[in-house]
Amino acid sequence: MNQIIHVRVGHLKDAANFFEDRLGMPVEDVMLKENEMCLRIKADDATEILLSEQHNRRQTSQIVILTSDCLENYCRLKARGVCFKKGPAYFDRGLCAVFSDPFGNDYTLLEERTYSEI
């Protein structure tokens, strides 16, 4: 089942520009409630991000996007002008890099690696 991450942004139009033009991720308009316009983004195979200008309890500013190749996505996004807060770095679960959107939310690109044998 897909995981849905709720993220608050300042302006949907600016957010759409960032996700589409800078990250190269298609966005889709959706109505969350009667009066709440949102943008839906398919971040990875198991994650959807819902961007909204309105505040709600489920929102987070720390988003994890799974990738099969962190270095490839890091280079691709850097070439598109994305500034990384933290370049690719190793930790016990694998390799990750962190960038922010214009509204201060942090996105962690995570390539999970299994180091144990058998």
Partner 1 sequence: MKLVKELSNKNKIVVENTCEAAYSQENAACTLKFVFKGSEECSLGKRKLSIYPDTFAIFNEGSSFTSRIESITPVNTFSISFSQKFVNDFHQNFCNSPEQLLDGKNVPAAPLFLESLYPFAGDMRFNVLHLKNKIDNGQVDEMLINEYMHHCLLNYYKIYQKEYVEKIDQLSFSKTKTREEILRRLTLAKEFISSNYNQKITLEDIANQACLSVNHLLRTFKEAYQQSPYQFLMQVRLTRAKNLLQTTAYPLHEIVSLIGFECTSSFIRLFKTTYHVTPLKFRKSSLN
Shorter beta-carbon distance to partner 1: residue 1 or 118: 118
Q: How far apart are CA 29 and CA 21, in angstroms?
A: 16
89-118: contacts with partner 1 (CB under 8 A):
90, 95, 111, 113, 115, 117-118
Nearer to partner 1, 20 or 94 (CB): 94
Pick the binder of partner 1 from 32, 48, 88, 100 (CB under 8 A).
Answer: 88
Phi-psi map region of 48: left, alpha, beta (phi>0 left; psi -120 to 50 alpha): beta
Distance (Å, whole) CA 80 – CA 23: 7
Site residues (CB under 8 A) for partner 1, limited to 38-67 = none
Select the residue interacting with partner 1 from 36, 69, 93, 102 (CB under 8 A): 69
- The single-letter code of the amino acid at 33 is K
CB 24 within 8 A of CB 65: no
Total number of residues binding partner 1 (CB under 8 A)?
16
Determine which helix (DSSP H) or strand (DSSP E) holds 40, and give its type and residue range.
strand 36-44
Give the interface with partner 1 as residue ranges (CB under 8 A).
Answer: 69, 71-72, 74-76, 78-79, 88, 90, 95, 111, 113, 115, 117-118
